[in-house]
A and B are shown apart, each in its own frame.
Chain A
Amino acid sequence: MDILENRAEWEATFKENFVAYFDETGETNFKVYNRAKNKTQPLGKAVDLSQSKLLLVTSAGGYLKESQEPFDAPNLLGDYSHRLFPIDTPFEDLAYAHDHYDHQYIDADPQVLVPLKHLADMVDEGYIGELAPTVFSYSGYTPDLARVLDELVPAVIEQAKSQNVQAALLVPS
């Protein structure tokens, strides 16, 4: 099961249109951006969340402001790196590098995108078995889906395996 069906065709079209426009003008044009169009949903087994370990994946661009480099948010072709931070990180230790959403909401209440406290409460209530100790964070302006597949997805899988999780929650921004 492919995450992106017809990858080769998607990549060729992306280069011919979106990348070529950017190379010519230095600007992006989402009128010529080829959105992924899958036809088949992946198969997968259910889990009993109350007996599972859950990994939080956030694309809000969160990073530890005192010890990590911010994401390259102004990059019009995207930043495909990731940061890791502990699930019990205080919100005051986080900053968010992502230029493609309005930060007024996350500044007022980080749980609109990074639900650390809600998830911790759900563990206390027995709804979730446990949380993976490390959050996977990236900055979700990532127009090049081939780079998402080649760089971000393997990194998420590595984290999921190394933390021995049975489930993952993605909260896009």
Chain B
Amino acid sequence: MSSQESGPRELWATRVGLILAMAGNAIGLGNFLRFPGRVALYGGGAYLIPYFIALLILGLPIMWLEWAIGRYGGQVRAHWLGPMMYMITKKKLGEHRAKIIAGVFGGLTLCVAILLNAYYTNLIGWTAFWAGMSISGKVAEITEVGQAVGYLVKIISDPVYNLVPWVVSLLVIGLVVSPGVSKGLERAAKVMMPLLFIFAIALLITSLTWRTPIKPEWDSIKGFLWLWTPRPEKLADPASWLEGAGQIFFTLSLGIAGIIPTYASYIKREDDIALSALTTASLNEFAEVICGGTIAFSLGYAFGGELPIGMVYVDGKSPFFLAMAVYPAFFGKLGGVGSFLGSVWYLLFWFAGVTSAVAILNTIAEMFQDLGLKRSTATFIGILLHFIFGVPIAIEGMMTVAYDWGPSTVYLDFTDFFVGSFLLVVTAFLETIFAGEFVWPEGYEEVNRGGFIKVPKWIWKYVLSIIAPIYLLGMLIWLPWSARLGKLIETGAPMEWLGPTLAGISLLFTVAFFIMGYVIAVKAVEKSFKGKG
């Protein structure tokens, strides 16, 4: 990046392509796996209260803010959050303070990107495993959730089954990111995203109409009703409110390493962002609340009775673990047709995951490019960092498979909780402070420039810049009292020490990545923007 260059490095070719790529970035495993698990754990239908409050007060306003930050940054060739926040805060806060702010956002960007993508790509690897099982026809041997759980334990506890699909997925993601993202990804998103929606709707209808495939008492509608039965006592746990906000950030990709600002930095200066951002959020909510909130537990109860529900609700098992065991039983029961449908579903599912992971790795590539590295080298470094952090996920299950409480997913679950409920919230909190009305009043004009709808001033001035930061600060203060934290790192005898150790390793990596990201941001800013207005 030289100081003479202006305008974005890359541009989206079409409006539809931009929206579908943004939706592809937002829609992923979180919609179909994480969301139903959160509903089950944190109050059933009552969880909708913290969830939709978070969507209206935090989700939509911060979504608009991130699109505005990104498009503004793109005009000066700032393509990731660190340099973007430097340019935004420099005028009001001065160069020195702006550099520190850039460093903090750089640190958050790198640690969120690596932590989240390392475990996320592991999960994508698991979907690749099930795609392989479907393509080979082996999925037809599975007819009940219990059998699928057996296979899943095999994946988690066998490093070969775990590592190979993960490494292959990482390489594919690297191949997409390395040559540049906007053109290849845009073309793919135009085909794959509509297919993903068609298939999700078909599965939704099937799950509500094919009600008793195994036993008459295992009625899919009862599974659906169990999920949505309100359990309001759960709302007394701060974790419900934290997880409501955390899920909104996770699902809309807000606060996640600035991937929305990075994608938005490829938008032309006069193109609409207000309606496009709202459309992306709407598509994502459709996939999450309507499709994700219906499919997992309806199919789960119809094919596994109380087992899948009990595993999440009583044992506190990861919803990723559960849902990866529910869908295979459904496809297996369909025989040969199920193998075909399973192949299509898991490949699309894998694609949805890959598009999200690509967006995160793209941000890391942009970071290292700002240090003067070639894009291919920058991408390779990103993949390497994923690998270093992600290996413990692949081997923790193997270490603990022999115990009653194993195989362990503590490292994965703790990282998921720490990123989803803490780091994303911190990032969003700082965004609302440093890019809100008080430091960057121009942001309001930025979001509405070329807009097909007008974002009201009061949303910007009061909701985004006052209510949202107070809400987010409340979440952060509440976090240490969360009932879930202690449960997350529990392992049983004779290895009680293992859970806290794995959580500690995850935290150490977090600190290391934060420092690395801070330094990169400061260096990038000094190299590219020193003296620029």
Q: Do A and B come from one complex?
A: no
B residues near A (Cβ < 8 Å) are: none
